[in-house]
């Protein structure tokens, strides 16, 4: 897509700058051993992270840049979107890997440095492709409210905040308030059902008062509303401008005002669901920044999320991109 990015809206992603270590499990014994709820994201300290890593060393692994919104911004840029990223890294090899990876994709980096090591996620993929994440935040957790400045939001029209940041209420409130004051639309992904459960009242207040766009999967939507997908969509959609509830193999439900759309999935042979939701958001935001209709936004999201589950890790492979870009271009042209 050889387009002039300057004519489209730009997205600033804010999240945990992490490096992912993805490993395939033969069974769920390791999850039980370390008391990691299957399918969840669990925060661990440096010592436990090292123990888990040492346990999975014999397994097949892949190393890549990660963090939920970081994954989204990589794919968003790959599609041709104009974007930037704010996060905090360590002054170490993993931090350098993260920075170089983003800049090579044309993403404007607003990276800050911490004395702690760069954060890392050990992604444990069960035989049925479900992923469980053990996250050591390290430097990523050192983001503070004063890291947000009015100047940071200049040139951006959307702020995409990582749901995992809601553990730090003061931080995320500072970010959305400044961004809203600068005229940006605010988007957030609900991240994980256990994150929602632990921060329910805060999330509801945040979304009602500041958030324009909410992404949630079926479990997260149920944790947030106590309802099934369609009823949850109605409730969330009544709290913000645009709501998306992803329902796995059934596709996704989208609501903006009185407009509702259901979008299906593309055929895919899933081997790892890591990053599926992140890539969905990337595709959807790409469509929004080009003022495409909701159905087209959802279909672009379905293409990239459907393709990423066919590979290990949260990012599309280089050899997948030509087919993805062609499919998206054909969709936009229709």
- pLDDT, one tens digit per residue, over 295-316 is 999 999 999 999 999 987 788 9
pLDDT at 275 over 80: yes
Q: Residue 6: pLDDT band by 50, 70, 90 thresholds?
A: low
Burial profile 207-238: b = 16 or more Cβ within 10 angstroms, e = fewer: beebbbbbbbbbbbbbbbbeeebeebbbebbe
Tell me the pLDDT of the chain averaged across its residues: 93
The Cα 315–Cα 302 span in angstroms is: 14
Q: Residue 315: what are its φ and ψ, rounded to 5°?
A: -120, 145
Residue range 20-47: mean pLDDT, rounded: 90
Residue range 30-52: mean pLDDT, rounded: 91
Comparing C-alpha atoms, which of 283, 308, 278, 305 is closest to residue 296? 283
- Note whether 107 and 73 are within 8 A (CB): yes
Residue range 38-55: mean pLDDT, rounded: 89
- Note whether 53 and 21 are within 8 A (CB): yes
- Residue 6 DSSP label: G
pLDDT at 1 over 60: no
Taken in order of first residue, the domains within the chain and their CATH numbers are: 5-19+66-119+137-333 (3.40.1190.20)
Per the DSSP assignment, residues forming a β-bridge with 84 are 12, 108
Comparing C-alpha atoms, which of 113, 111, 109 is closest to residue 83? 109
- Note whether 303 and 266 are within 8 A (CB): yes
Residue range 189-195: mean pLDDT, rounded: 91
pLDDT at 5 over 60: no
Residue range 84-94: mean pLDDT, rounded: 93
- pLDDT, one tens digit per residue, over 207-260 is 999 999 999 999 999 999 999 999 999 999 999 999 999 998 899 999 999 999
Q: Residue 178: what are its φ and ψ, rounded to 5°?
A: -65, -45
The Cα 332–Cα 334 span in angstroms is: 6
Residues 87, 314, 204, 220, Cα dihedral to 10°: -160
- Note whether 107 and 74 are within 8 A (CB): yes
Quote the pLDDT of residue 240: 98
pLDDT at 71 over 60: yes
């Amino acid at each position: 897509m050889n387009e002039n990015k300057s004519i489209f809206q730009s997205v600033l992603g804010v999240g945990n700058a992490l490096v992912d270590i993805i490993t395939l499990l033969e069974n769920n014994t390791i999850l039980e051993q370390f008391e990691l709820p299957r399918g969840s994201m669990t925060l661990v300290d440096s010592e436990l992270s090292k123990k888990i890593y040492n346990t999975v060393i014999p397994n097949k692994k892949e190393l890549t840049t990660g963090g939920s919104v970081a994954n989204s911004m990589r794919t968003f840029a790959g599609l041709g979107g104009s974007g930037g990223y704010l996060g905090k890294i360590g002054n170490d090899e993993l931090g350098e890997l993260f920075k170089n990876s983003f800049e090579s994709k044309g993403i404007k980096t607003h990276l800050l440095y911490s004395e702690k090591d760069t954060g890392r996620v050990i992604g444990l993929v069960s035989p049925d492709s479900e992923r469980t994440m053990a996250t050591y935040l390290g430097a990523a957790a050192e983001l503070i409210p004063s890291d947000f400045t009015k100047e940071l939001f200049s040139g951006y029209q959307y702020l995409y905040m990582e749901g995992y940041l809601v553990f730090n209420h003061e931080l995320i409130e500072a970010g959305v308030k400044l961004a809203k004051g600068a005229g940006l639309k605010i988007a957030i992904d609900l991240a994980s059902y256990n994150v929602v459960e632990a921060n329910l009242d805060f999330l509801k207040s945040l979304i009602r008062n500041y958030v324009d766009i909410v992404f949630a999967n079926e479990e997260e939507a149920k944790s947030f509303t106590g309802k099934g997908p369609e009823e949850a969509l109605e409730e969330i959609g009544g709290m913000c401008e645009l709501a998306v509830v992803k329902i796995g193999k059934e596709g996704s439900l989208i609501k903006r005002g009185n407009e509702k759309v259901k979008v299906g999935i593309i055929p895919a042979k899933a081997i790892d669901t890591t990053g599926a939701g992140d890539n969905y958001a990337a595709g959807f935001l790409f469509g929004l920044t080009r003022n495409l209709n909701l159905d087209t936004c959802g279909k672009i999201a379905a293409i990239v999320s459907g393709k990423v589950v066919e590979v290990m890790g949260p990012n599309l492979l280089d050899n997948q991109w030509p087919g993805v870009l062609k499919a998206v271009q054909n969709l936009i042209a229709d």
